[in-house]
Structure 1
Amino acid sequence: MTTTAPRFGWYGDDFTGATDTLAVLAQAGLRSMLFMGVPSAQALVAAGPLDAIGIAGAARAMAPDAMRVELTGVGQFFRQIAPTVLHYKVCSTFDSAPHVGNIACAIQTLHPSVDNRWVPILGGQPSLGRYCAFSNLFAAAGTGGAVYRIDRHPTMHRHPVTPMAEADLRVHLAQQGLQGITALHYPLYEADTGQNAATLRNALGTLLDNGPADLPDLPFMPTLLDLTSADQLASVGRLLWQQAQRARLLAVGPSSVAQALIAHWGAHASHPTPALAPSTGPVFAWAGSLSPITAAQVQAAASYQHIPVDAQRLGTDAAYAQATQRAICAGLQQGCHVLAYTGPTNGAPAPSSGASAAVAPASAALVAGVVQAQADNGTPLGRIGIAGGDTSSHAVQALQLWGLSYKTTVCPGVTLSSAHSSDPSRHGLELMLKGGQMGGTDLFERLLGAG
């Protein structure tokens, strides 16, 4: 496998989700690298031969016009290197809207980079407590938490930017402009074994042959696939791979797209996931997420010095931002682990959507400033953690890294990556990125490693 013919390519619509897919692929023994944007020829050479090539982006937080600009270049790159499967990686909760993170817009922009008319959309990821049955999405509230239909989920139904008001993903995506969505529901998968192993393939063939009667000229055919159990992954993966062998395929969904293909390939990790080693110095964590799950994680982080941050002042008051950076660095230089956070931790209402959108770039500038200040002081950081999808995307861009490779898993859905940078003070930095819904209450304590 070479960088000119990878088996799998993916674009993550935010950085946290992109690292989850990186972990899934690396744990299965695939040579994988996640690039911070379309990679240059020099970056591809530096990465070496790869089985899977990923690009981390921020399309989830973009308006459609900006998404088209971003994804047109991504599509051109993947058209050139021609992965057998191209995966548009979305959040496992599918939170998106017509005006921001529009998944229909992403499919329309990326589909010209492949040759297969069929576009499978996987609607669940059981490993993270995400389940799709008869096209309706269900999600656990936190790791191991109670499972809710997504439009009744305590966090996602009132997300400050993309609230989920519809559980049927066919309807949800149609509202974003995706036409002609068909579905293959999970009872078909139960029959797709032994002598009946062609059940799914035959059902798909019927869909492709007939198509939506009222939309005969669609350039592609999207099909939503249920996923309620890890036992179904191999059947789904077989269906995807069979179609990809006919013509290069665009698939949409969370990391279960990669999990399904790996289950079909029979790939297994070449060695157990390495244990998370204790940090060799102070750890800096930044929580820009407004999720109640992140708030509970902040409260439980007893080993850290806590620094609350006023999100609105951070982006508008330069003196306040500088004072906050100095306070964080002072704690780190005293040998303390430091956790700075912007969201409420006492059950208070989250800031407005405008405030939450503004905090991400301001947070990113502060994180990059702390990292640089520590390097300038001769005490470069070895490990940092960032909570919040948009915050993570902006922060990694501000750190000017060109790539991330897999190091280990902190907990399901949360990866510790190793940074690749032309700046020696940032190359090798251990970086944890996590979405607001990911991780157990002890996540930040886990980040410190075994004592």
Structure 2
Amino acid sequence: MLLGAFGDDFTGASDLANTLARAGMRTSLTLGVPAGPAPADDEAVVVALKSRSIDPAEAVRLSLGATAWLKANGARQILFKYCSTFDSTPSGNIGPVAEAVLAVLDAPLALVCPAFPGTGRTLYQGHLFVHDRLLSESGMERHPLTPMTDPDIRRWLQRQTPLKVGHLPHAVVRDGTSSIRSALAEAAGRGERLVVADATSNDDLIALGASLRDHAFITGASGIAMGLPANYGIAPDRATPAFVGAEGPAVILSGSCSQATRRQVDIYAQDHPHRAIDADAVMNGSLKLDALIDFIETHRNAAPMLYSSADPEAVAAAQARHSRQVLAERIEGLFAELARIAIERGFTRIIAAGGETSGAVAGTLGNAVLAIGPEIDPGVPALQLRGTKPVAMALKSGNFGAPDFFAKAVTLLAGKA
């Protein structure tokens, strides 16, 4: 293994694995920290954690466990992957995790770069944009778990950690690798341990990656990984194993409430079987698991969709009635049970939308290892379970994907173009 990484949710980890695979690295995705050694032929391994919205101390514990396993399996460099919208709270986990890993790796500093221009996330003057909107005006300010109300990543991160936070401005990044390396050395001399880097294009990310050849620890969204494989002499035109896919029944489980996912749900529902999961019905027990299983069985050959996706106002009202944490746990538990039973009954294509939903769904596979297949939409690869069970998956971040994502995923997971 050359590069070891861990992501703070399952969709983000699959996004990173996709970026590394497209850059030419032989990459696998593990669901949690494996009990055994890493696959012998992999150059990069991404460990998917479910640590974004949990207690910071537990997030640190899980992240250090992943770091220790990756180092023990030969990783020369560690990458901590979080969302390109920096999903966290002022008391959130990105700062504490970065601080803890810096300490165990005895690294002088780490870059912080959530930019991912391919999905409209850019960083300029330390401020994060989603397309032409500041992060705090993009809809993320209404996120039910991690409302992002300040677009200044320097300021947001400084609220999470006592470490000194610095800034690498776009003028330096644009000037190229030599200037970036000099600026990072100067930042270390000033005692800055976490340095937020501007990036507005893929060229910026590639320049940053080339500048990080000798850095033990890096943090960012998946875009920061674009320039890392070249540091190991790996080119994106290397041949990769063919994706086989799975031809059995498909089911879609959507829990994201993002604007992108709600649009995707609306489009898919126009000509496919679908059923909404009402939060109140889940909490009062009037919605039974058996009824949902009967629904997907009835439509098992038509790729049915079950979804709890709703507009932010409806979600906020349900959270007020039932408690945010309790409601989230019940919905996630329901999706996990649906996925487990669906796989038991021969569904071989599972598509999950939303970070928490994807974590719950993929968690039913245990500490599985997944091979990386072709990209469905930017940031979302097809995944194939390694081993004898013919299961293909897509784990989609709520904000990712084109309007017709679900239909494309159903087709591509079957191994069809």
Q: Normalised by the size of structure 1, how large is the TM-score?
A: 0.83
Give distance in 1, aligned partners of 2:324 and 2:239: 41
Equivalent pair of 1:233/1:263 in contact (CA under 8 Å)? no
- Secondary structure at the aligned position of 1:67 is classed as helix
In the other structure, the counterpart of 2:315 is 350
Equivalent pair of 1:79/1:113 in contact (CA under 8 Å)? no
Displacement of 1:284 after TM fit?
Answer: 0.2
In the other structure, the counterpart of 1:283 is 250
Equivalent pair of 2:95/2:157 in contact (CA under 8 Å)? yes
Equivalent pair of 2:19/2:379 in contact (CA under 8 Å)? no
Displacement of 1:275 after TM fit?
Answer: 8.3
Q: Deviations over 1:155-190 (max 9, x none)?
A: 201111111111111001011124311111111122
Indicate how the Cα distance of structure 1 residues 274 and 336 shifts in structure 2: closer, same or farther if over 3 A, else same. same
Displacement of 1:371 after TM fit?
Answer: 4.6
Give distance in 1, aligned partners of 2:284 and 2:230: 49
Q: Find the partner of 2:406 among 434, 438, 444.
A: 444
Give distance in 1, aligned partners of 2:303 and 2:87: 33
Are residues 1:232 and 2:175 paired?
Answer: no
Q: Find the partner of 1:112 among 103, 109, 118.
A: 103
Q: Find the partner of 2:265 among 277, 294, 298.
A: 298
Letter in structure 2 aligned against 1:93? T
In the other structure, the counterpart of 1:169 is 153
Are residues 1:432 and 2:412 paired?
Answer: no
- Secondary structure at the aligned position of 1:343 is classed as coil
In the other structure, the counterpart of 2:293 is 325
Give distance in 1, aligned partners of 2:77 and 2:406: 35
In the other structure, the counterpart of 1:187 is 171
Displacement of 1:25 after TM fit?
Answer: 1.4
Give distance in 2, aligned partners of 1:432 and 1:73: 26
Displacement of 1:372 after TM fit?
Answer: 4.7
Indicate how the Cα distance of structure 1 residues 110 and 82 shifts in structure 2: closer, same or farther if over 3 A, else same. farther
Displacement of 1:71 after TM fit?
Answer: 2.1
Letter in structure 1 aligned against 2:130? A
Give distance in 2, aligned partners of 1:31 and 1:272: 8
Equivalent pair of 2:80/2:218 in contact (CA under 8 Å)? yes
Give distance in 2, aligned partners of 1:387 and 1:24: 19
Range moving further from structure 2, 434-443 or 321-330: 321-330
Equivalent pair of 2:90/2:156 in contact (CA under 8 Å)? no
* Root mean square deviation, CA, Å: 2.6
Equivalent pair of 1:35/1:54 in contact (CA under 8 Å)? yes
Q: Deviations over 1:207-238 (max 9, x none)?
A: 222336xxxxxxxx111111111112232112
Displacement of 1:112 after TM fit?
Answer: 3.0
Give distance in 1, aligned partners of 2:175 and 2:349: 47
Q: Deviations over 1:86-130 (max 9, x none)?
A: 111000000201344x21111122223323212111131112211
Equivalent pair of 2:206/2:224 in contact (CA under 8 Å)? no
Give distance in 1, aligned partners of 2:395 and 2:365: 13
Give distance in 1, aligned partners of 2:67 and 2:116: 25
- Secondary structure at the aligned position of 1:391 is classed as helix
In the other structure, the counterpart of 1:387 is 353
Equivalent pair of 2:99/2:161 in contact (CA under 8 Å)? no
- Unaligned 5+ segments in structure 1 are 1-5, 141-146, 213-220
Equivalent pair of 1:11/1:87 in contact (CA under 8 Å)? yes
Are residues 1:339 and 2:305 paired?
Answer: yes
Equivalent pair of 1:405/1:417 in contact (CA under 8 Å)? yes
In the other structure, the counterpart of 1:49 is 41
In the other structure, the counterpart of 2:117 is 126
Give distance in 1, aligned partners of 2:234 and 2:365: 37
Equivalent pair of 1:383/1:430 in contact (CA under 8 Å)? yes
Give distance in 1, aligned partners of 2:141 and 2:360: 24
Indicate how the Cα distance of structure 1 residues 175 and 372 shifts in structure 2: closer, same or farther if over 3 A, else same. closer
Give distance in 1, aligned partners of 2:24 and 2:156: 35
Displacement of 1:363 after TM fit?
Answer: 4.4
In the other structure, the counterpart of 1:216 is none
Give distance in 2, aligned partners of 1:405 and 1:395: 17
Q: Find the partner of 1:72 among 61, 64, 67.
A: 64
Give distance in 2, aligned partners of 1:99 and 1:322: 39
In the other structure, the counterpart of 2:14 is 19
Are residues 1:407 and 2:373 paired?
Answer: yes
Indicate how the Cα distance of structure 1 residues 9 and 275 shifts in structure 2: closer, same or farther if over 3 A, else same. closer
- Matched ranges for 1:369-380 at <5 A: 369-374=337-342, 377=345, 380=346
- Matched ranges for 1:255-270 at <5 A: 255-262=222-229, 265=233, 267-270=235-238
Identity of paired residues, percent? 25
Equivalent pair of 1:9/1:78 in contact (CA under 8 Å)? yes
Q: Deviations over 1:57-83 (max 9, x none)?
A: 111121112213322322322342342
Displacement of 1:324 after TM fit?
Answer: 1.8
Equivalent pair of 1:181/1:224 in contact (CA under 8 Å)? yes
Equivalent pair of 1:312/1:355 in contact (CA under 8 Å)? no
Give distance in 1, aligned partners of 2:403 and 2:254: 13
- Secondary structure at the aligned position of 1:290 is classed as coil
Displacement of 1:29 after TM fit?
Answer: 2.5
Q: Find the partner of 2:82 among 72, 90, 100.
A: 90
Give distance in 1, aligned partners of 2:222 and 2:344: 38
Give distance in 2, aligned partners of 1:375 and 1:261: 36
- Matched ranges for 1:129-208 at <5 A: 129-140=120-131, 147-153=132-138, 155-192=139-176, 198-208=178-188
- Secondary structure at the aligned position of 2:371 is classed as strand
